[in-house]
């Protein structure tokens, strides 16, 4: 039974059998019934925005059509940094499905969401990218000198490690498939946690005694710097395709005083359904 054009199915690696059968409840297709197949890896922008709020990958299909029927096998995990993604001793599904003949499949592309948690983790670390400043002249005074260069080299190292896995796959077709990866948006630092974690920037800025009137501008500067890093990664290898959501998707900002759903944001750093649909529609133009 062939999937119709509007069908997009997102499954976990455990829901795909070696013979191509899909065991996810309510799915009546198998691997060969789809025209296109993507392997996804990433953070909570690909996995969960909250316990009961799936990522924008689940917007694809009838809500946000793709050009072909598509199966997405999603290896993403909330909170993952690039370093944790490429720790193959703990993260076996992604390398096996991409690069091992015994376990892998031929993919049409890799979907990657990475970098956001890295910069937030660096902001939260007491010895990270932020510092106290009693008499700031501007937001740059709250950013540790050379810290962004160190973070960029760390991200580039781990990004290259992931790209090398593709480039050296035991499955010949997979060595040349595109890797689609993205920038993020402009979160408003506010006391709006998810159900099991956060807030993140609010906590980072508070612990460094950064005055609240600097928060939005400082948060935006961090997201701009991260986006510039990701834009620069395109030269690491061939067929790396940046989807620049920060530049090209107009997300409505959350109100700093709101502690929950606000603007296009479900909580401090994750999108609500409106925001996810906007991002998904832009991604869909590339897939």
Is the model's pTM score more than 0.75? Answer: yes
Q: Residue 85 pLDDT > 60, yes or no?
A: yes
What was the pLDDT predicted at 44? 83
Q: What tokens does 158 get? A: 């781990």
Asked if the structure places residue 1 within a domain, the reply is no
The mean predicted confidence, pLDDT, of the chain is 92
Domain range spanning residue 144? 8-284
More confident residue, 171 or 6: 171
Share of the chain above pLDDT 90, in %: 82
What was the pLDDT predicted at 52? 63
Identify the CATH number of the domain in which residue 83 sits: 3.40.50.1110
Strands (E), 44-108: 48-50, 53-54, 70-74
Q: What tokens does 35 get? A: 């025209």
d(CA 267, CA 192): 5
More confident residue, 53 or 192: 192
Residues 231-277: tens digit of each pLDDT: 999 889 999 999 999 999 999 999 999 999 999 999 999 999 999 99
Q: Residue 62 pLDDT > 60, yes or no?
A: yes
The angle, 0 to 180 degrees and rounded to 10, between the axes of the packed helices 116-124 and 215-232 is 130
DSSP state of 130: B
Q: Residue 68 pLDDT > 70, yes or no?
A: yes
Q: Residue 53 pLDDT > 80, yes or no?
A: no
Asked if the structure places residue 206 within a domain, the reply is yes
d(CA 257, CA 192): 9
For the chain, what is the domain count?
1
Asked if the structure places residue 163 within a domain, the reply is yes
Asked if the structure places residue 2 within a domain, the reply is no
Q: Residue 63 pLDDT > 90, yes or no?
A: no
Asked if the structure places residue 121 within a domain, the reply is yes
Asked if the structure places residue 240 within a domain, the reply is yes
What was the pLDDT predicted at 89? 63
What was the pLDDT predicted at 152? 95
Q: Residue 1 pLDDT > 70, yes or no?
A: no
Residues 152-208: tens digit of each pLDDT: 999 999 999 999 999 999 999 999 999 999 999 999 999 999 877 889 999 999 999
Q: Residue 49 pLDDT > 90, yes or no?
A: no
Asked if the structure places residue 3 within a domain, the reply is no
Asked if the structure places residue 48 within a domain, the reply is yes
Share of the chain above pLDDT 70, in %: 97
């Amino acid at each position: 039974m062939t999937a119709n054009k509007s069908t997009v199915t997102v499954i976990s690696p455990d829901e795909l059998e070696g013979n191509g059968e899909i065991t996810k409840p309510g799915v009546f297709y198998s691997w060969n019934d789809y025209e296109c197949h993507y392997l996804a890896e990433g953070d909570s922008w690909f996995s969960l925005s909250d316990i009961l709020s799936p990522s924008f990958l689940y917007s694809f299909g009838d809500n946000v059509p793709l050009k072909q029927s598509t199966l997405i096998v999603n290896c993403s995990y909330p909170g993952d940094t690039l370093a944790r993604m490429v720790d193959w001793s703990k993260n076996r599904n992604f390398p096996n499905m991409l690069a091992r003949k015994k376990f892998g499949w031929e993919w049409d592309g890799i979907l990657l969401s990475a970098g956001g948690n890295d910069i937030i983790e660096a902001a939260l670390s007491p010895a990270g990218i932020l510092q106290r400043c009693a008499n700031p002249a501007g937001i740059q005074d709250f950013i540790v000198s050379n810290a962004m260069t160190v973070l960029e080299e760390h991200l580039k190292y781990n990004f290259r490690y992931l790209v090398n896995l593709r480039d050296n796959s035991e499955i010949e077709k997979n060595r040349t498939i595109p890797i689609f990866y993205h920038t993020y948006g402009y979160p408003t630092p506010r006391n709006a946690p998810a159900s099991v974690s956060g807030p993140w920037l609010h906590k980072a800025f508070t612990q460094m005694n950064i005055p609240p009137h600097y928060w939005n501008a400082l948060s935006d500067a961090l997201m701009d710097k991260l986006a510039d890093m990701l834009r620069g990664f395109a030269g690491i290898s061939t067929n790396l395709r940046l989807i620049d959501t920060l530049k090209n998707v107009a997300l409505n900002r959350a109100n700093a005083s709101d502690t929950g759903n606000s603007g296009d944001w479900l909580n401090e750093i994750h999108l609500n359904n409106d925001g996810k649909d906007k991002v998904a529609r832009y991604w869909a133009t590339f897939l």
